[in-house]
Chains A and B, each alone.
Chain A
């Protein structure tokens, strides 16, 4: 594997987090899982990630608050972020996407393959700043 895409999953549902991790690791990506928003924010403030997948509704710190914190003050201000939600029509998707610079909002139930495909796309086209792995090598 030339470069390992670094992915952070913030999901309080351990059953779902496990299967997401299984699918992404099976493709060779490097996956870190945090089971609540506060832990995820702590990790994101010190570690670089290319893709951050966060659940919307989590105890303590919600997905929205987590991504707001990541965008405001972390090493991941330009990371590709995806918000997953089991909520219904009450989410203002367009406003959230604009405000948090989200790649997309994925409604549960979703296909884990979609996340794998997205991760592959990022790996192929990492954007102007490059992948975390490259940055780490350079630093």
Chain B
């Protein structure tokens, strides 16, 4: 600072002046002592010679001792003059030799200044270290967030962004996290968003927007809240960007599930209500029709019950809580019971039902009820989608480390483009012939899940209008 520099110069000049004054006073005193005796004599010539020689000696003394007197004060003066204008600049004063009070005082001052400098430096280093650590912690915490966070000033220019913001921002130019500083926030927001949507400066604002990224729609939620300084004035904003795409997909899947379940619940219920009302209100209805209507109600009510069971199993499956109750099971007996259960359905449609089993079948540690339900489902589908008089074969073989249950039919088959979808929840073919029979679209989903829970799988093969083959594979390692 100039003021400090002037002060230093003035102080240095005063110091030199004072030293000279003291020195001259000392020499004057010595001169007085030296020439005093001569002044007391009565001879004027001796008195004059004494004064002259005294003055001469004094001048010589002054001249001889002057450098020694001035050298320390010069060093002090030069150092004071070198005191820097910039308060941040380093000033390193050095002690001087000498035993005068000025030099001793200067040396004490230097020692104090050095201590002060060291303390200041230490304080600054500690401060920087603490600030750095805190900044680093904040930065790491922000980078750990999935949400993009950006801080802007009052002109909506970016001051800082976290790594999630950098990756969520669809940049036209450079996208490095460090390159955002100073750029307008608009550059980082989806095209459809303009700052006019955030008119309310002083309160939080949230908007949802769809953004096309690499040909796919990304659902974004953008929120902005004001950033206040210590006196409560708005000095900028904090922005958050959230990618809501996964939540949207989950919500869509949930809505689709509810819609499909609602449809499958309403359909049999509609028949039950319509037939029950018809029976209750129609006067001209013969006994044969009454019986047929009652059977329909019973069959639709059973369908409804089965659907609800399947729905609960699918819900358990989704929650990962569809569990198995495994016990040692005689596979030969399981097959006999399953075949007996399904045979009446085949007989009703006059279908040929061939069962081919090996001479010896193992005992496996399986959930007998669930595997039986899975096989009934595969055999039931074969019968449902095979015309009257068709052929269904059920073959069981040991193949390598697996036991394979193969169901083949001569039914309507599945179109190639639909074959990969048959295990999806609620999937039902567009084929009219499929809609002639009831079905929820959950049977194959559950059958495959049951097989997978046992460490196996269900595989499908089909030719449209020729027939289908479904193979349930169970590993023999589940044996006991």
Contacts of B289 in A (CB 8 A): 22
Query: How many residues on B have C-beta within 8 angstroms of the other chain's C-beta atoms?
Result: 33
Residues on A lying within 8 angstroms of B by beta carbon are 12-16, 19-20, 22-23, 26, 35-36, 57-60, 86-88, 90, 107-113
A79 to chain B, nearest CB (A): 23
A107 to chain B, nearest CB (A): 8
Q: How far is the CA of A88 from the CA of B254 in the complex (A)?
A: 13
Instruction: Closest A residue to B274 by CB, please name it.
Output: A19
Contacts of A86 in B (CB 8 A): 262-264, 266-267, 270
B435 contacts A59, CB within 8 Å? yes
Q: How far is the CA of A109 from the CA of B266 in the complex (A)?
A: 6
A92 to chain B, nearest CB (A): 14
The contact of A19 among B255, B263, B271, by CB within 8 Å, is B271
Q: How many CB-defined contacts (below 8 Å) exist between A and B?
A: 84
Instruction: Closest B residue to A84 by CB, please name it.
Output: B270
B94 to chain A, nearest CB (A): 88
B430 contacts A109, CB within 8 Å? no
B258 within 8 A of A: yes
Residues on B lying within 8 angstroms of A by beta carbon are 255, 258-259, 262-264, 266-267, 269-275, 277-278, 281-282, 284, 289, 293, 296, 300, 428-432, 434-436, 438
A9 to chain B, nearest CB (A): 12
Q: How far is the CA of A36 from the CA of B269 in the complex (A)?
A: 21
B436 contacts A14, CB within 8 Å? yes
Contacts of B434 in A (CB 8 A): 59
Contacts of A20 in B (CB 8 A): 274
Q: How far is the CA of A89 from the CA of B274 in the complex (A)?
A: 22
A13 contacts B278, CB within 8 Å? no
B251 to chain A, nearest CB (A): 13
Q: How far is the CA of A107 from the CA of B39 in the complex (A)?
A: 142
Q: How far is the CA of A46 from the CA of B262 in the complex (A)?
A: 35
Q: How far is the CA of A35 from the CA of B269 in the complex (A)?
A: 19
Contacts of A14 in B (CB 8 A): 436
Contacts of B435 in A (CB 8 A): 12-13, 35-36, 58-59
